[in-house]
Amino acid sequence: MWDRVLDRMLRQFFVAGALDILYPDGTCRRYGPGQGAALRITLTDPALPRRLVLSTELALGEAYMDGTLVIEGDDLDRFFTLVSTNAAQSDAGWRRWALRLRRAKRVLDQYNPAHRARENVAHHYDLSGELYDLFLDADRQYSCAYFTDPSLTLEQAQDAKKHHIAAKLCLSPDMEVFEIGCGWGGMALTLAQDYGVRVLGVTLSREQHKVATERAAAAGLSDRVRFELRDYRAVRGSFDRVLSIGMFEHVGVPHYREYFDAVRDRLRPDGVALIHTIGRIAPPGATSPWITKYIFPGGYVPALSEMSSAVEEAGLYPTDLEIWRLHYAETLRHWHDRFLANQGRARALYDDRFCRMWRYYLKASEHTFRHNRQAVFQMQIAHRPDAVPLTRDYLYPSPATRQMRAA
């Protein structure tokens, strides 16, 4: 019975390309109108059709992790291109119902008071530090890089990201900067070293806090940069600048107003804040249940309307908004290729199932940015409309100015 139900669902879904599925009973069926060679998938677990019917996205990811869904040539790029293309074109009724159910429970999924936020952060960011060394750049920038030229290396693109953000902060020496979600400290150390500011960075990850503190001491910057294991909502005082990179995705819609109220309250009257976050170029939605369970519990990619509404309610003034298109897809491609090259070391840290999970996460994310209307928002906000220059010329310094900064 479940084979027949799944067959009907897939025939509604695949309206482009071609996919051959070999079912556990030995039956092979083709989906999609495409001609020529089809991508072939083998289902080896008799229970898998039922699981795919009842929770398609979750079961799909789990089956790949378990090895009960085998993709021909392990070609995740081809698989996700086919799935993403059809997701953008298909109007299958069962997908609408699945999305309604996910939206109905998203408030519960995104409820992130301080204690739950700590648990969610630990799930992902307190994994072995060696794991992140396998695929990130040397500075451990775990957010979208900025490819000002397609030929840039990952290290160069991450450096370009940091300095582009620094330009948007309009920094002067000895300014005080509050970084919400400091990661392993790379951005804070760059701001202190290259721009002469003082930084307070907070994180809920014990592993990140330990590494960031050690890096500040090793760089001789402990007098200018301090890192605290603390929820951003517990910080008091005021700052010239507030910065948040890749953290807003973990806030959760029920806490957006609370978040921007905190940004407002920490920002001095003439201050500037920069929020860098993944965003959906679509109406509000819901997080994939597989991502919620295995990668980012409590995570959610905001629609611009949701983010903007919270900024308005907090009484803040948007002074600039930039949309980075496809930069994160390229970043994730670099991360995946580096992880794949180091997969043997990752397997020694964890196991085959973890490696398949991580590759699935990186490739699914890359193709979401390529095909499914996802980008990066950089929103610059302030109390006053004249807190930053009135044109964007200051973001693109002359070669002479760049040379002075490098010296």
Distance, first Cα to last Cα, the chain: 70
Ranked by mean pLDDT, the top range of 19-23, 52-56, 112-116 is: 19-23
Architecture of domain 2-104: 2-Layer Sandwich (3.30)
Element (H, E) at 179: strand 176-180
From residue 207, give the alpha-carbon distance in Å to each of 132, 212, 228, 298, 334: 11, 9, 12, 19, 24
Q: Which long-range contacts (CB under 8 A, 24 or more apart) does 5-10 make?
A: 5/49, 5/53, 6/49, 6/52, 6/53, 9/53, 9/56, 9/92, 9/94
Report, as an integer, the average pLDDT of 42-59: 94
pLDDT tens per residue across span 310-325: 999 999 999 999 999 9
Euclidean distance between CA atoms 4 and 135, whole angstroms: 41
Minimum mean pLDDT range among 82-91, 104-113, 357-366: 104-113
What's this model's pTM, rounded to 2 decimal places? 0.91
pLDDT at 138: 95
Contact 29, 16 (CB under 8 A): no
User: What is the arrangement of strands in the sheet containing 239-245, beginning at the earlier edge strand?
Assistant: 225-229, 198-203, 176-180, 239-245, 267-280, 374-382, 317-324
Annotate 338-358 with DSSP letters as a single string: HHHHTHHHHHHHS-HHHHHHH
Euclidean distance between CA atoms 204 and 128, whole angstroms: 16
Contact 101, 75 (CB under 8 A): no
Neighbours of 402 (CB within 10 A): 12
Report, as an integer, the average pLDDT of 349-374: 95
Report, as an integer, the average pLDDT of 181-201: 97
pLDDT tens per residue across span 204-237: 999 999 999 999 999 999 999 999 999 999 999 9
pLDDT at 388 over 60: yes
Q: What is the CA radius of gyration of the chain?
A: 22
Euclidean distance between CA atoms 233 and 238, whole angstroms: 13
Phi, psi of 382 (to 5 degrees): -155, 175
In the CATH scheme, what is the homologous superfamily, with its name and number, of domain 114-406?
Vaccinia Virus protein VP39 (3.40.50.150)
Six-digit token pair at 205? 């990850």
Taking Cα atoms as reference points, which of 256, 276, 242, 272 lies closest to residue 142?
Answer: 276
Annotate 124-164 with DSSP letters as a single string: HHTS-HHHHHTTS-TT---S----SSTT--HHHHHHHHHHH
Share of the chain above pLDDT 90, in %: 78
Cα dihedral across residues 30, 33, 34, 35: positive or negative? positive
pLDDT at 114: 66
Euclidean distance between CA atoms 150 and 337, whole angstroms: 16
pLDDT at 406: 46
Residue 363 is given by DSSP the state: H
The structural domains of the chain, with segments of one domain joined by +, span 2-104, 114-406
pLDDT at 35: 78
Average per-residue pLDDT for the chain: 91
Report, as an integer, the average pLDDT of 181-188: 97
pLDDT at 123: 57
Euclidean distance between CA atoms 241 and 380, whole angstroms: 11
Residue 224, helix vs strand vs coil: coil
Phi, psi of 149 (to 5 degrees): -145, 135
